[in-house]
Amino acid sequence: MMQKKILIADDEKDIVELIGYNLEREGFSVYRAFDGGKAWETVNAERPDLVILDLMMPVMPGMEVCRRIRKQETTASLPIIMLTAKADPVDKILGLEVGADDYITKPFHIRELIARVHAVLRRSEWRSDGGSQESFDFQGLHVDFKSYRVTVAGRPVELSAREFKLLMFLIGHPGRVYSRDQLLDRVWGDEAFVEPRTVDVHISRLRGAIEPDAANPRYILTVRGIGYKFADSDHSE
């Protein structure tokens, strides 16, 4: 297996060295950047497999680096963990909305950060392989991507084409939160006259079809104030 490359971007050198040392002990190849400009340059020059990104950095703030990564086609799916001293829920929401896969506040425990790195990389690998997988299983939910069949605990479920597409998209990005506007962009595309409320309606219908208890969903979860996500499937059947 090729050695995974991780970029650590933070203007606090002690933190960068602490994280870098521990990641290298885990077998990762580590790149370091101490400002946002260098981080953006390294993303394009080295093509890391994951970026640990501080929110407040000189030259270019982490939020802008994240936006650029998501807008550029060649880096749009690059996993990003935001690491910041800003613990305000608003900052977390903004970070997730611009495309961060995870968000950790300082001070942090290094073992937790390492565990988050492994989890985000596992989800990324699942997404990259998802197109070639014939089926998906998670806690009684079975989806056959070839025949477009869905069953829950062996019971067939009828979904509309849009509901199936929405389910496929969320399954393909387990654990990652998407706002209504992001789901409209990725599932509905350029269709005109589609309002954010449309997402809520389809989520509600999808839950009604696949959730054993729609009031207490197991698969499609609401992240209050942000949007929706599929449950983290690291422990799928």
- Chain segment 143-185, per-residue pLDDT in tens: 988 788 899 999 999 988 889 889 988 988 888 888 888 888 7
Residues of the chain with CATH 3.40.50.2300: 5-129
Residue 46 and residue 31 in contact, taking contact as beta carbons nearer than 8 Å: yes
**Scanning the structure block, which residue is given the tokens 């936006």?**
67
- Sheet strands side by side (includes 155-157): 135-138, 141-144, 149-152, 155-157
Q: How does pLDDT run across 43-78, given as a tens digit for each residue? A: 999 999 999 999 889 999 999 999 899 888 888 889
**Scanning the structure block, which residue is given the tokens 């963990």?**
81
**Is the pTM here over 0.75, yes or no?**
no
Q: Does domain 5-129 have CATH number 3.40.50.2300?
A: yes
Kindly give, in sequence order, each residue whose CB lies less than 8 Å from that of residue 54, ignoring residues fewer than 6 positions away.
Answer: 9, 10, 11, 12, 62, 82, 83, 84
Residue 190 and residue 203 in contact, taking contact as beta carbons nearer than 8 Å: no
- Average pLDDT value over all residues in the chain: 86
CATH class of 131-230: mainly alpha
Residues of the chain with CATH 1.10.10.10: 131-230
